[in-house]
Chain A
Amino acid sequence: GEDVEQSLFLSVREGDSSVINCTYTDSSSTYLYWYKQEPGAGLQLLTYIFSNMDMKQDQRLTVLLNKKDKHLSLRIADTQTGDSAIYFCAEKASGTYKYIFGTGTRLKVLA
């Protein structure tokens, strides 16, 4: 079945890089996403990657996709305190608009 997993917590110092990892099971997923959720708020789409790409960079964000291992990562360069939030990866189930979300990684940035 479809399953998306992430580590629950990550703590980094301000200015360092953060790497949030995600594994998924649906090999036919066409898009993979990263969302940010701040306390009490909805989801903000950060970036996404097509399944035929290995890497996508968008300012401080770098997404790496290893399709063979079904592994997705989000790297945040020069992490700031405002980056503290929960980060969800998600895959779009093939042939539908159904999104399968990971468990979320709570990122805490220490000043």
Chain B
Amino acid sequence: GAVVSQHPSRVICKSGTSVKIECRSLDFQATTMFWYRQFPKQSLMLMATSNEGSKATYEQGVEKDKFLINHASLTLSTLTVTSAHPEDSSFYICSARGEIWEAGGLNTEAFFGQGTRLTVV
């Protein structure tokens, strides 16, 4: 199946610094990637939709200047948490839209990375 690699898996940073998280589709091209945030014991909340070569679409309440998204190629999207604060500590997960062959034909699905646990101290 399609593989999405997210890096780093864990990061600890000091308050006020910026952190970049990478999301790569390893064996397929992804014109669309998604960034989610998951608080402890809660569900995933979509932060933004990233389209290759264009500006990301942010969900309501997500600060675009705080969470910078770049999707410069068909296999890489990055999320940069700028001027991180302890309240930004969370689990961030990306997903990439890809196509898989099934008995019924070609199907488009979202494949998820393994997530990045960000801790801001």
Contact = CB atoms under 8 A, between A and B. Distances in A.
Given A42-B6, A45-B109, A97 B42 contact: no
Q: Interface residue tally of chain A, by bracket?
A: 10 to 19
A103 B40 CA distance: 11
A34 interface: no
20 contacts: A35-B112, A40-B115, A41-B115, A42-B114, A45-B111, A45-B112, A88-B43, A88-B44, A97-B49, A97-B97, A97-B108, A98-B34, A98-B46, A99-B34, A99-B46, A99-B95, A99-B110, A101-B44, A104-B41, A104-B43
Main secondary structure of the interface of B (DSSP, over half): strand
Interface of A: 35, 40-45, 48, 88, 97-99, 101-104
B43 A97 contact: no
A11 B115 CA distance: 26
A42 to B, nearest CB: 4
A99 B65 CA distance: 24
A44 B1 CA distance: 11
A34 B109 CA distance: 13
